[in-house]
Chains A and B, each alone.
Chain A
Amino acid sequence: MSSISELEKIASQVRRDIVRMVHGCQSGHPGGSLGCADFVTALYFHQMKHNVNFSMDGKNEDLFFLSNGHISPVWYSVLARAGYFPVAELASFRKLNTRLQGHPTTAEHLPGIRMASGSLGQGLSVALGAAETKKLNNDHSIVYTLHGDGELQEGQIWEAAMYAAHHKMDRVIATIDYNGQQIDGSTEQVLSLGNLTAKWEAFGWDVLHTNGNNMQELTDCLALAKSKTGAGKPIVIIMKTEMGAGVDFMMGSHKWHGVAPNDEQLAAALAQLTETLKDY
């Protein structure tokens, strides 16, 4: 476990990695990646019991599934910084013959990835399956997921939500990147999510809320979520985040969902993000 200030330093470096990776290949999704930098950092450097000596089966360790696979840059950076694979490999993101495919995949055998994602809405089902296997294996570890809020428009999410409550999947913690933005505009404009808290509660989940861009609040909420596991209900954390968080000109709209910064924009972004670990 790391202290709040240490976590914040790691998250700052993760943000640098994200904008540099996306700039390096002139493609990818910086907005959501930046918004989730604090969460994914907190998960791997503070919350999860996990083993950097990767095994696909992940027995007796916590698992994480990134359901909104397009924010792969944040996951790749955190995995590399945590020690799953060399940090230098981040430079290969989205380039030919890379293990760091545009969207995460098991096909290239990148340590830390247990399922391809990208086509939205599938990660919660996968997590439930992994959690059922953990039950059969007498393994009380926790299975975490991350979903975009726009992703909740996919019907499969709600199939899985129904299953999880019915079968009391109480070692599953789903998290939602609630930034209110999707490709075509705000979620309010495109397809309103309505009252998300009421929706998840109606589906039988224990719903927690946090500021996904405040490390103290985030780690407190994750600890609370962990304390609620094993109590007969699946848990979901709705994390209020800002798309593009940490880079002022990338915040406040959906514009930076899937656009890469040019050289000037990269420099402007990096000027706002302290290099706390060495850049790759």
Chain B
Amino acid sequence: MKQYPYTEKKDTRSGFGAGLSALGKTNPNVVALCADLTGSLKMDAFAKDHPERFFQVGIAEANMIGMAAGMTIGGKIPFTGTFANFSTGRVYDQIRQSVAYSEKNVKICASHAGLTLGEDGATHQILEDIGLMKMLPNMTVINPCDFNQTKAATIAIAAHEGPVYLRFGRPAVPNFTPADQVFEIGKAVMLNEGKDVSIFATGHLVWKAIEAGQQLAEMGINAEIINIHTIKPLDAQAIIQSVKKTRCVVTAEEHQKNGGLGDSIAQLLATQFPAPIEMVAVNDSFGESGTPDQLMTKYGLDAINIVEAVQKVMARR
């Protein structure tokens, strides 16, 4: 099992803030909008350095999405920022009509996704956002795993013409992706080559998959671990190539099973290369208050859950 040493834990939202700041300096067309969560989204630096390109819209997310769509007319590249819950479910129709259907170059940047938002509870812990966004034609859906990858993804999506949903989170997590790793939209990242099982993980579950891989190695199981940072478009080639070798699959994500990464991979494999699959995800349930770690344990999103899923799926092979 390949080792992934890291020097510090950092939150992915700060990766977004750092990426946005970098873009502010290099791309004069990048503008940012925020619905009263500038500090939470780590957009402060951009707002301070480029006040003329930062738009505080207040607690009015529908207006923010509509404005962002309009701002593309004349060549600006708007990045909207609020919590994932208010970035998607609250404004689904605005995104559908004014962004996705209208093919506008809007980057919907969503923090505090999933259970790891923690104590605020289920009202804020959206676990359906990947599904909502991936169902929209024209929409690209990205869920990076750590600070460095989120920063790189933020920079990469500015150069991509078209609507993008960029999902990240609140807690500090190991920052192990090399700072100079180029982010390629739609290109899976191989983390560990193995032969016994394919583990496809996204977002915060990528690190859990690495931890699981280490535990599995001690058990004599050689897991292939692949970071699927782009859920749409899915890297079908990388996924099928891996499954042809391992013949069984575990997916892992901080999202509902319904509509998530596991769903996308199951659809791909069912039609192109059927193989047993187990999904580590939230099972048709809302979250609740608690610390991020407590919640990940209670809802079955820990490394041990991935290990158990691997044992189960290998037995089904």
Contact surface of A with B, Cβ cutoff 8 Å: 56-59, 63, 65, 105-107, 114-119, 121-134, 136-137, 139, 155-156, 159-160, 162-163, 166
Contact surface of B with A, Cβ cutoff 8 Å: 31, 52-53, 55, 57-58, 60, 62-76, 78, 93-94, 96-98, 101-104
B76 and A125 within 8 A (CB): no
Task: List residues of chain A with CB within 8 A of the CB of B97.
Answer: 116-119, 122
* A119-B70 CB under 8 A given contacts A105-B101, A107-B103, A159-B60: no
Q: Which of B31, B62, B70, B96 contacts A136 (CB 8 A)?
A: B31
A129 and B66 within 8 A (CB): yes
B102 and A106 within 8 A (CB): yes
In the bound complex, CA of A138 to CA of B143 (Å): 36
Task: List residues of chain B with CB within 8 A of the CB of A58.
Answer: 73-74
In the bound complex, CA of A155 to CA of B52 (Å): 27
In the bound complex, CA of A116 to CA of B72 (Å): 14
CB distance from A122 to the nearest CB of B (A): 5
Give the nearest-CB partner of A115 in chain B.
Answer: B102
Task: List residues of chain B with CB within 8 A of the CB of A139.
Answer: 74
CB distance from A123 to the nearest CB of B (A): 8
- 24 A-B pairs within 8 Å (CB atoms) are namely A56-B73, A57-B73, A57-B74, A65-B70, A106-B103, A107-B102, A115-B73, A119-B97, A122-B97, A124-B66, A126-B67, A126-B69, A127-B70, A129-B73, A130-B73, A132-B71, A133-B70, A133-B75, A136-B76, A159-B63, A160-B60, A160-B67, A162-B58, A163-B63
Give the nearest-CB partner of A106 in chain B.
Answer: B102
Known: A128-B70, A137-B74, A137-B75. 16 other contacts (CB 8 A): A56-B73, A107-B102, A115-B104, A116-B98, A125-B64, A125-B67, A125-B69, A125-B70, A125-B94, A126-B69, A127-B70, A129-B67, A129-B71, A133-B31, A136-B31, A160-B60
Q: Which of A57, A155, A156, A166 contacts B66 (CB 8 A)?
A: A156
CB distance from A148 to the nearest CB of B (A): 16
**Residue of B31, B68, B74, B96 most packed against chain A (CB within 10 A):** B74
In the bound complex, CA of A156 to CA of B59 (Å): 11
CB distance from A63 to the nearest CB of B (A): 7
Task: List residues of chain B with CB within 8 A of the CB of A106.
Answer: 101-103
B102 and A133 within 8 A (CB): no
Task: List residues of chain B with CB within 8 A of the CB of A63.
Answer: 73
A163 and B67 within 8 A (CB): yes
Task: List residues of chain B with CB within 8 A of the CB of A137.
Answer: 74-75
CB distance from B21 to the nearest CB of A (A): 19
Q: A-B pairs with the 8 shortest C-beta distances? A: A129-B70, A125-B66, A129-B67, A133-B74, A159-B60, A159-B63, A126-B70, A129-B71
In the bound complex, CA of A247 to CA of B185 (Å): 55
A130 and B62 within 8 A (CB): no
A163 and B60 within 8 A (CB): yes
Task: List residues of chain B with CB within 8 A of the CB of A123.
Answer: 66
A132 and B73 within 8 A (CB): no
B102 and A105 within 8 A (CB): yes
Task: List residues of chain A with CB within 8 A of the CB of B102.
Answer: 105-107, 115-116
In the bound complex, CA of A59 to CA of B75 (Å): 9
A155 and B62 within 8 A (CB): yes
Give the nearest-CB partner of A128 in chain B.
Answer: B67
**Residue of B64, B68, B69, B70 most packed against chain A (CB within 10 A):** B70
CB distance from B90 to the nearest CB of A (A): 11
B67 and A132 within 8 A (CB): yes
Give the nearest-CB partner of A157 in chain B.
Answer: B63
CB distance from A113 to the nearest CB of B (A): 9
CB distance from B257 to the nearest CB of A (A): 29
CB distance from B43 to the nearest CB of A (A): 17
